[in-house]
Amino acid sequence: MLYAILCYHDEDFVGSWSKDQDEAVMKKLAVVQEKLTQQGRLGPVARLLPTTAAATLRKEDPPLVLDGPYAETKEQLLGFYIVDCKNLDEALDVARDLGAANPGGAYEVRPVGVFRPGGISA
Amino acid sequence: MSDTDTAWIETALTSARPQAVGALLRYFRDLDTAEEAFQNACLRALKTWPQNGPPRDPAAWLIMVGRNVAIDEVRRTRKQQPLPEDDQAISDLDDAEGALAERLDGSHYRDDILRLMFICCHPQLPATQQIALALRIVSGLTVKQIARAFLVSDAAMEQRITRAKAKVAEAGTPFETPGAIERSERLAGVAAMIYLIFNEGYSASGDTAEIRKPLCEEAIRLARLLLRLFQSEPEIMGLTALILLQHARSAARFAADGSLILLDDQDRSLWNRTMIAEGLALIDKAMRHRRSGPYQIQAAIAALHARAATPEETDWTQIDLLYGALEVVQPSPVVTLNRAVAVSKVRGPQAALDLIEPLAPKLANYFHFYGVRGAFLMQLGRNDEARVAFDRAIALANTSAEAAHIRMHIDRLIRDSQPKGANGGARQGAKAK
């Protein structure tokens, strides 16, 4: 069974880290990741850019694009995609197509800051 | 308590500061009282958080404790009543803090912080005082840190901040919740203040760049904060994108000897890719709104530079068009001067020179005008005139790095005007300067 570990933290707090603090945290995380990599148990790792860079597509008809992160707590995170797009509009087009195939709920579109593909297969 | 614990608490206090001071200001309606209340709450936090662990909502905790302590202070001075014991005053805090956190709804939070920032960018204050006050009140930098960043003495900075506070108190503060129009006016003022803070740090020369870097970082932090509060404002997205994209280049802007390195000559591998990614994502998102403004246009120009892997790949035609748009929304001779650089790349130095000649009377004391003019003349082979322009630029240079950069141009002119191979010694001498 593969497990997804979703990272949550207060953005105000993380945003207050100095560059050195940020690097120190990333370094400590890298130690943990390295161990898993050597055991062949680590899949993709992504660090998302701040929620201010996010747009949300509500899968209504027609789909509604909103600024900011996804904020409806009555719905749950069910999965995620990583797609390669030229810009936000292209990424929203992909989300629209996905939304047409599977209406209801919403997609949050957030740029990825760090991406490591990892080496496991499901 | 280990060092990491202390660091954690300090970060929590810094990140909670704008909200907590903002709320305390709404409550006490006095900047000094609010600041003092926050300081006292921080002292309590340093004492109790290591023992009891972090509170659920640090900002709510600080607001609550700050308010209690300040009220006790007032009671003590007024009625000489005995103070309640420290622990008693905050004994039930866990529950109370949770309840308060729930009442601190988004709209109040937004207005508190906006008001706090707005007070600092009071139109009656000169720009330098606005920046100093914002760094002191919103960011919580110490007077010493701010004085260092502005390269003035502690005493002078203390005086500048005290004066600014007095002027703010005198002018009175609008505490009612602002209407839509007033809010957008305030927002524009706050955005301009953040832009000023950034520029103050960005315009540093090589020898002071390290000292002033914190100003740029603080401006980015404030811009991100403002953007979180107003997530659908394209101009705030543009401002944040602009300063991220500019700051991303900071490691490549100065040579080891402190001299300025122009965009074309910068080592692009030193640019901060994560910062560029965030800036590009934001300007991308802002553009989708189709409500362009000066910050967005400037960010779009910075984005075109950031997207070019080499100087040759820069899309100068697009940059020329964007400067043209900026001339419409924010006409200024400086904008035209910047546009001329793009024009020189697209249509050659003569076209660029024609564009800037009419600006001469307005920019008679502007360093960059003569630097740019000299560069165009040099490209046209009019070396004597170029020399005159460069001499004037040196006389107007604001920093040693600027002067050194122009001197390099002059050295090149001298070198080029020598008959080839005739005077190697002079060439070396010029270089060694």
Task: Determine the pLDDT at residue B423.
Answer: 45
Name chain A contacts of B15, Cβ cutoff 8 Å: 10, 12-13, 15-16
CA distances from B310 to A86, B10, B103, B263, B264 (A): 19, 41, 52, 10, 8
Task: Determine the pLDDT at residue B101.
Answer: 62
Name chain A contacts of B237, Cβ cutoff 8 Å: 52
Interface mutation target, options B284, B287, B307, chain A, most CBs of A under 10 Å: B284
Closest-CA residue of B relative to A49 is B278
Query: Which secondary structure element, helix H or strand E, spans residue A20, and what is its range?
Result: helix A19-38
Task: Determine the pLDDT at residue B79.
Answer: 61
SS3 category, B294 = helix
pLDDT, mean over chain B: 86
Task: Determine the pLDDT at residue B316.
Answer: 97
Task: Determine the pLDDT at residue B422.
Answer: 45
Best CA proximity match to B314, nearest among B346, B337, B288, B280: B346
Q: Between A64 and B413, whose confidence is greater?
A: A64
- For residue B62, what are its two tokens? 């600080």
Angstrom distance (rounded) from CA A91 to CA A87: 6
Give the pLDDT confidence of B317-366 residue by residue, as tens digits.
Answer: 999 999 999 999 999 999 999 999 999 999 999 999 999 999 999 998 99
Name chain A contacts of B281, Cβ cutoff 8 Å: 49, 53, 88, 111
DSSP state of B81: P
CB contact under 8 A, B288 and A88: yes
Closest-CA residue of A relative to B217 is A18
Task: Determine the pLDDT at residue A97.
Answer: 93
Name chain A contacts of B251, Cβ cutoff 8 Å: none
CB contact under 8 A, B237 and A87: no
Q: Does B7 touch chain A (CB under 8 A)?
A: yes
Residues 6+ apart with CB under 8 A from A66: A55, A56, A57, A58, B232
Angstrom distance (rounded) from CA A67 to CA A56: 6
- For residue B351, what are its two tokens? 């076209």
SS3 category, A106 = strand
Flag whether pLDDT at B83 surpasses 60.
Answer: no
CA distances from B207 to B210, B240, B433 (A): 7, 26, 18
CB contact under 8 A, A88 and B274: no
Give the pLDDT confidence of B195-222 residue by residue, as tens digits.
Answer: 999 998 998 777 788 888 889 999 999 9
In CATH, A2-48+75-111 is 3.30.70.270: no
Burial status of residue B73 (CB atoms within 10 A of its CB: 0-12, 13-18, 19 or more)? middle
Give the pLDDT confidence of B251-280 residue by residue, as tens digits.
Answer: 999 988 888 888 999 999 999 999 999 999
Flag whether pLDDT at B401 surpasses 80.
Answer: no
SS3 category, A107 = strand
Closest-CA residue of A relative to B223 is A52
From the CA of A18, how many Å to the nearest CA of chain B?
Answer: 9
Flag whether pLDDT at B228 surpasses 80.
Answer: yes
CB contact under 8 A, A52 and B228: yes
Interface mutation target, options A67, A92, A108, chain B, most CBs of B under 10 Å: A67
CB contact under 8 A, B278 and A53: yes
ipTM for this prediction? 0.86
CB contact under 8 A, A111 and B221: no
Task: Determine the pLDDT at residue B88.
Answer: 46
Task: Determine the pLDDT at residue B93.
Answer: 56
Q: Does B277 touch chain A (CB under 8 A)?
A: yes
Q: Which residues of A touch B (CB under 8 A)?
A: 10-13, 15-19, 21, 49-53, 55, 65-68, 87-89, 111, 113-114
Residues lower than pLDDT 50 in chain A: none
Flag whether pLDDT at B87 surpasses 50.
Answer: no
Q: Strands, E, within B210-328: which ranges?
A: none
Kindly tell me the sign of the dihedral angle through the C-alpha atoms of B69, B52, A9, B104: negative
Angstrom distance (rounded) from CA B394 to CA B404: 8
CB contact under 8 A, B15 and A51: no
Tell me the HSE value of B11 on the side-chain side, using a 13 A CA sphere. 20
Which residue among B11, B14, B231 places its CB closest to the CB of A52? B231
Q: Strands, E, within A31-95: which ranges?
A: 45-48, 55-58, 64-67
| Confidence class for position B430, pLDDT limits 50, 70, 90 | very low
Angstrom distance (rounded) from CA B249 to CA B305: 10
CB contact under 8 A, B281 and A49: yes
pTM equals 0.86
